[in-house]
Amino acid sequence: MGSVEVASFPKPPALQDPPSDGFYNETQWEVLMALMDAAIPSIVSHSAMTDKFNQISIPDGRFQSNFKKIQDTMVEPPDLESFQAFLKDKPSDLPAFRHHAIRTLSTVSDKMRQELGGVLSLLSTKAGAFILTGHCVPFHQQPAHVRESILQGWRTSWFSKIRVLAKSVSTIAQLGWIQTAPIFRQVSGYPDVPVGWKAGPHFEYSFLQFPGSASPEAVELETDIVIVGSGCGGAVCAKVLAEAGHRVLVVDKGYYFPPTALPMPQEAGARYLYENQGFVNSADSSIVAVAGSTWGGGGTVNWSVSLQTQGYVRREWAEEKGLSFFATQAFQDSLDRVCEFMGVRDDNVRQSHRGQVVLDGSKKLGWHAKPLPQNSGGSEHYCGHCHLGCGSSDKQGPAVSWLPAAARAGAEFLEGFQVDKVLFDKSRKATGVVGKWTSRDGNGSVSGSLDQRTRRHVTIKAKKVIVACGSLWSPIVLLKSGLKNRHIGRNLHLHPWGIITSYCSSFENIDGHGHGTKLEATCMVPYAVLANFPCPSGLDFKLSAMRYRHFDAFISLTRDRDSGSVHLDPKGERPILDYTPSAFDRAHSLEGVIGLCKLLYITGAVEIRAFLPGVEPFIRKDASTPTSSINEQVTRSDKAMEELDLGISDPAFMAWLDHVRAVGNAPPTAIFISAHQMGTCRMSSHQGDGVVDAKGSVWGTKDLYVADASVFPSASGVNPMVTTMAIADWIARGVVRDLKT
């Protein structure tokens, strides 16, 4: 381990300059910013209004009552001046917001960007505005209160594409404002850095480097095993194979960030640590996937949850899928081995307030719940910022534990290397990979433009190739390599959740075949929660965001029975995600949402939001008492306690739950998010049923393996990290045996 630089705050990389905004003309941008200001409008009291076109006024009495409610229900509430500034702020006031919008829109598919551009052009004309808004005035020429009313109308349109448009506009606006508005951080109190931050020890990686060259000739390397991907699968393979004495080269398109750079601020973390700079939208916008794309992969940004594959899932894979090794002691040994290496424990977990809510509420309702084990090496790890990278090095992810162990055994590493395809000889034997390497900039950072960085084509010759770049990219690498197996990219499972140290498992087997949902606390990084916040108005959103420090967020994580797919975009450059949560799986997710609502009610929540468009929050009659701290509640009035004692038989609450069920969670407007992608290179016992065999070897090839979550036969039902690592351990040990023969 290397020495730690003494610093009081992390030093993350600066954001890259935004790309060109030329994909839209100035009129289109004007309309877009008018839409952003409609989603998050400038709100003032009637007597303070100075701009009738750009501001929305509310009666002075209502303004004062909202201020009083904030004063009564928040600990350390904002003063009147800050309250006014918070409500008055709007996206178009912030230069950083437009830069954020440019970066965000540059990451969506050409098709989506062109479709939105077409809508913006329509809205800029009288005829187009009439079609989409019912008014003959171009949208951007309407005053703010009319624009907000139009957006509200879109949310309940008969036409699904209009509802999706409203959802997309709101998400872009909320995401950008939460990440770029200084007033949000000031009033909400959200810290970019955990309290008491101190950078942990780091490993001194030595990445391969290549000089610049005017020649198009590729750099050529040679090794025993090249592993494509440094995440949970690739890192375990690297350690096992390097310690067995083989030459190992691990390559990844992502870059390494030391503990001194972590956690990153919200926008930088999304841009540098995640696939597609934060989010991968499904083709129909019904779900958003979040996937790590940095050195260490998803293991760098996951929340440390370390659950072993459950028995009923292992039996399904062994008995129904014909993969008998999942039911053996040998696979259990792999599970135990990876957990022991990372120091996985559940007896040293410090519960957050929301984690304790899950435990206490489940106990009151007679449901089964327990703390979730963490891969924190025995440390009490509770920073709450792991979503943006762990600066303490307590979390024993791939970059902290597995890859350093591989390096000590002789493994080599190459960051910034995008693999294009696997190379084969005439007998379909894998002989290596080819791709493009992009260096860091002259300052050793990744924020410089491409013209400040060296780019080289690289060919790596190897005896064996292990593809471990995740369920979004592993099938893409195989497809670009010319493989024709019809199962490549199919069988995509996402564990869709609608809005982690504790969980409730009483809903995990609703259908009697292992399909259901787990109720969990989720991370509280603001953009991860507020960027998909369904609200009836801009005022409701702002008042809710203002009280963010008093939020507890939870998820209903569904083990999905039905699947989607991943395929290449028309340019052949990146994955397109085709996935719509099925009615079967949505029903389980909704049962979990109902369960969460009951759990929150019984533990005394004063306001409950189901995060479903069209569902107003449930608010207790006496909801004026603030929370004094994360683990302590101010004593409620006798009347409030009597209401709480009604339990889940409270007529008002039960009527609200009936409304939640009636509204439902049908796509595309319901909010679904995925942090777990699995199954796109499915393991099978017969060649016609999957992509790899029980050893991880790709059917129809030689010396080519896949070792990541994409080989799961079906959804794991739990955080896939430990399952992925155990399967990688199993596959890597098989490769060691093959190399001996």
Could you tell me the residue ranges of all domains in the chain?
Answer: 26-188, 219-277+291-345+373-487+680-740, 497-674
DSSP 588: H
- In the block, which residue shows the tokens 């970066």? 103
pLDDT at residue 3, as a whole number: 46
Tokens of 254: 């992502």
Q: Which of 54-58, 460-464, 668-672 has the lowest mean pLDDT?
A: 668-672
pLDDT at residue 622, as a whole number: 63
247-283: burial string, b at 16+ Cβ within 10 Å, e else:
bbbbbbbbbbbbbbbbbbbbbbbbbbbbbbbbbbbbb
H helices of 467-507, in order, are: 470-480
* Banded pLDDT at 223 (limits 50, 70, 90): very high
Mind giving me the DSSP string for 517-572? EEEEE----HHHHHTT---SSHHHHHHHHHTGGG---EEEEE--SS-BEEEE-TTS
For the question of residue 676 being annotated catalytic, the response is: yes
pLDDT at residue 741, as a whole number: 82
Say if CB 305 and CB 349 are below 8 A apart.
no
d(CA 379, CA 356): 19
Whether pLDDT at 646 is above 80 = no
Q: Is the CATH code 3.50.50.60 the one for domain 219-277+291-345+373-487+680-740?
A: yes
pLDDT at residue 353, as a whole number: 85
Q: How far is CA 541 from CA 174, 297, 508, 538, 671, in A?
A: 9, 33, 32, 5, 16
Say if CB 262 and CB 10 are below 8 A apart.
yes
Tokens of 332: 């259990």
* Banded pLDDT at 647 (limits 50, 70, 90): low
Other C-beta atoms closer than 10 Å to the C-beta of 705 total 28
- In the block, which residue shows the tokens 């910034």? 416
Q: How far is CA 333 from CA 341, 729, 734, in A?
A: 12, 10, 14
* Banded pLDDT at 732 (limits 50, 70, 90): very high
d(CA 315, CA 336): 18
534-593 tens-digit pLDDT: 989 999 999 999 999 888 899 999 999 999 999 999 988 899 999 999 999 999 999 999
Rounded mean pLDDT, 306-319: 97
Whether pLDDT at 635 is above 80 = no
Beta pairing partners, 492:
564
DSSP 12: P
Query: 704-706 and 455-467 as β-strands: parallel, antiparallel, unpaired?
Result: parallel
Phi-psi region of 503 (alpha: psi -120 to 50; beta: other; left: phi over 0): beta
pLDDT at residue 532, as a whole number: 83
pLDDT at residue 479, as a whole number: 98
Report the first-to-last Cα separation within the chain, whole angstroms.
36
Whether pLDDT at 105 is above 90 = yes
> Which sign, positive or negative, has the C-alpha torsion 13, 15, 16, 17?
negative
Whether pLDDT at 297 is above 90 = yes
Rg (Cα) of the chain, in Å, rounded? Answer: 26
Tokens of 163: 């509802």
Tokens of 383: 């920073």
Q: Which of 135, 659, 676, 686 is catalytic?
A: 676
461-484: burial string, b at 16+ Cβ within 10 Å, e else:
ebbbbbbbbbbbbbbbbbbebebe
Whether pLDDT at 418 is above 50 = yes
SS3 state of residue 578? strand
Whether pLDDT at 197 is above 80 = yes
Query: Percent of the chain, pLDDT > 70?
Result: 94
Whether pLDDT at 427 is above 90 = yes
The whole-model pTM stands at 0.94
Residues near 741 by beta carbon (within 8 Å), at least 6 away in sequence:
none
Q: Position 376: which residue type?
A: S
Q: How far is CA 382 from CA 275, 372, 389, in A?
A: 25, 12, 13
